[in-house]
């Protein structure tokens, strides 16, 4: 897990590439490196050493011929198998997945992407052809941002690195308007800033002679259409269980300590159970957060799991007094709006892991999307994208000014399948739930120089589960049905069939009580900000007073305004 950066164009500034790397130094404190092809390119890298800790694996990494230079963020988990396949083609000098990735590209070109099982964003500079090739993993676990300006192409792992050298901080008002109106965080290629773009997950780009070409390389829909989901329930359960174990096994490949995040839910309970199926992985440490509010804390379920497996458990507490300082820190790290107080609680896990010398954490992201775990999957009519907000709308369009509100345009998501449940899952995988969670989590983990691995987002798992018939996913009102049946023999039944708990912190209570003074101060600050014209301030005051009087079924709109004030006022 690292940071990548680059400037392609005439006479790229070495000072600029150094500043970009400084801005994202937290992503890779173990080594900072640059390569400059004078007059054409400057490539940079922040290294967090996970596999092959030697200096020989530092980046930008040069191939044996000296033609190609690689800057790579992420992991190719099946690198050992690929290295074996490539050993007669390439003379390896390290035992890193970095060198395997570069050798694979040299042999297979862009087709190497189909062979990788991993999470990655990387860029390869060809100093003979003066061409950049860059790619992002299937689901966009690792970030890749870019901007074209003044005849140069800039890319980096974080937006702040681009802004530091291009001075481009103009807001993308349409994305902001959609955020307030529909709760969206932009389409796969968008950011909250004008002219700063993302390379969508599952895409690659080529840049040469001031020409940018972007292509999709991961064809999820075709892969699903080729699958033949004609297995019996028991057959499918057995196949999926083997895929799960293989995914966990691959993601324990590291030359540094590994631990995992644990909540009381089905997904992380399954992760814990699977980890302990491997004899050499028993006693791996688990981390969990809590707030001391028994209405929300998952400690009772966590303790039941730990009592069974005896893994060491680190409990990390978040208190209301920590929220504001953490919010200010997170506003700087995230660059864009981020999830609520649970995101802050989650960040404390990574801080504790860093203090404990743990460099890799696993978590259970991705199961709800592949096995239809969110409450709104139960309704064919539901178009919601926010879990657990009650019966009323989580968004307050009336709190926007009329001119700003007109900029909002309801996103239209592709519906490539005849099955409506699959179309909702597809939306959440590629447009809504997964992209925003991955962005939040990447920034949190990297803030503390810790690698986060998502074993349940192995593409083999996702494709297999997605292709299963609806009644394998939902039986009656029981969601993630097959997953629960897999978990049943591994844990107690009250954990196996525990309901989905969308809220893990007392966010609605803290915003309206312990934090109400600071929240109102931030909401009031919007009046004097350069973005004041976006809002109907009387309506915000009215909604705030209503919230304090108990109309708090959803706190999302309060968080949106509060979070926005923090993000925009820091600029």
Query: Which ranges of 366-432 would DSSP assign to H, the alpha helix?
Result: 367-371, 402-405, 420-430
d(CA 109, CA 48): 26
**CB neighbour list of residue 472: distance below 8 Å, 6 or more residues apart:** 233, 236, 481, 482
Quick check: 69 pLDDT over 90? yes
Per the confidence metrics, is the pTM higher than 0.85?
A: yes
Is residue 70 classed as helix, strand or coil in its secondary structure? strand
pLDDT above 60 (res 509): yes
Q: Give residue 228's pLDDT.
A: 77
Name the most confidently modeled range: 185-194, 223-232, 374-383, 492-501: 185-194
DSSP per-residue letters across 218-266: --HHHHHHH------HHHHHHHHHHHHHHHHHHTT--SS-EEEE--SSH
pLDDT band per the 50, 70, 90 thresholds, residue 503: low
Please tell me the distance from the alpha carbon of residue 289 to that of residue 293, in angstroms, as a whole number: 11
At residue 256, φ and ψ (nearest 5 deg) are: -140, 165
Average of pLDDT values for 72-84?
97
The pLDDT, as a whole number, for residue 393 is 73
CA distance 179 to 173: 10
pLDDT value at position 276? Answer: 84
Categorize the per-residue pLDDT at 290 as very low, low, confident or very high, splitting at 50, 70 and 90. Answer: very high
Question: Could you give the domains of the chain?
Answer: 3-218 (3.60.20.10), 223-504 (3.40.50.620), 508-569 (no CATH)
Closest CA to 477 of 374, 570, 344: 374
Are 34 and 10 contacting, i.e. CB atoms less than 8 angstroms apart? no
Q: Per-residue pLDDT averaged across 221-230, rounded? A: 89
Q: What is the pLDDT of residue 362?
A: 94
The DSSP bridge partners found for residue 74 are: 120
């Amino acid at each position: 897990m690292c940071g990548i950066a680059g400037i392609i164009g005439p006479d790229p500034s070495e000072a600029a590439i150094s500043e970009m790397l400084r801005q994202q130094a937290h992503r890779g404190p173990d080594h900072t490196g640059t390569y400059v092809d004078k007059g054409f390119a400057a490539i940079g890298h922040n290294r967090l050493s996970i596999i092959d800790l030697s200096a020989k694996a530092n980046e930008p990494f040069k191939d044996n011929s000296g033609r190609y230079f690689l800057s790579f963020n992420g992991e190719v988990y099946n690198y050992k198998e690929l290295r074996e396949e490539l050993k007669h083609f390439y003379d390896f000098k390290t035992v890193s997945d970095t060198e395997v990735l570069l050798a694979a590209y040299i042999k297979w070109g862009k087709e190497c992407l189909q062979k990788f099982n991993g999470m990655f964003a990387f860029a390869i500079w060809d100093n003979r052809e003066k061409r950049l090739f860059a790619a992002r993993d299937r689901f966009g676990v690792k970030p890749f941002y870019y901007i074209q300006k003044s005849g140069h192409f800039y890319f980096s792992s974080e937006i702040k690195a681009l802004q530091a050298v291009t001075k481009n901080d103009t807001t993308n008002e349409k994305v902001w308007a959609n955020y307030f109106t529909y709760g969206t965080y932009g389409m796969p290629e968008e950011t909250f800033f004008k002219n700063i773009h993302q390379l969508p997950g599952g895409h690659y780009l080529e840049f040469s002679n001031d020409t940018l070409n972007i292509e999709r390389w991961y064809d999820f829909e075709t892969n699903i259409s080729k699958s033949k989901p004609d297995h019996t329930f028991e057959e499918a359960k057995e196949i999926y269980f083997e895929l799960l174990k293989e995914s966990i096994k691959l993601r324990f490949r590291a030359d540094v300590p590994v631990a995992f995040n644990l909540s009381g839910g089905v997904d992380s309970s399954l992760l814990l159970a699977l980890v302990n199926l491997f004899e050499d992985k028993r006693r791996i440490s688990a981390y969990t957060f809590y707030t001391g509010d028994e209405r929300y804390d998952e400690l009772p379920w966590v303790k039941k799991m730990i009592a069974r497996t005896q893994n060491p458990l680190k409990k990390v507490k978040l208190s209301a007094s920590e929220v504001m300082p953490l919010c200010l820190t997170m506003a700087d790290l995230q660059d864009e709006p981020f999830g609520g107080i649970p995101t802050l609680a989650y960040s404390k896990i990574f801080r504790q892991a860093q203090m404990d010398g743990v460099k890799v954490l696993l978590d259970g992201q991705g199961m709800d999307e592949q096995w239809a775990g969110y409450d709104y999957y139960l309704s064919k009519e539901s178009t919601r994208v926010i879990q657990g907000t009650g019966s009323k709308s989580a968004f307050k369009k009336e709190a926007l000014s009329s001119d700003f509100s007109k900029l909002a345009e309801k996103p239209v998501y592709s519906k490539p399948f005849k099955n409506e449940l699959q179309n909702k899952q597809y939306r959440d995988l590629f447009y809504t739930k997964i992209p925003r969670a991955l962005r939040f989590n990447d920034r949190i983990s990297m803030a503390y120089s810790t690698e986060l691995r998502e074993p349940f987002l192995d593409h083999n798992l996702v494709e297999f589960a997605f292709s299963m018939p609806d009644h394998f996913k939902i039986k009656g009102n029981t969601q993630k049905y097959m997953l629960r049946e897999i978990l049943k023999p591994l844990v107690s039944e009250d954990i196996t069939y525990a309901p989905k708990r969308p809220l893990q912190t007392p966010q609605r209570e803290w915003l309206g009580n312990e934090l109400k003074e600071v929240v109102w101060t931030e909401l009031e600050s919007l009046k004097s900000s350069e973005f004041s014209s976006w809002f109907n301030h009387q309506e915000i005051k009215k909604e705030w007073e209503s919230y304090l009087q108990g109309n708090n079924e959803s706190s999302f709109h309060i968080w949106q305004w509060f979070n926005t004030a923090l993000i925009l006022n820091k600029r």
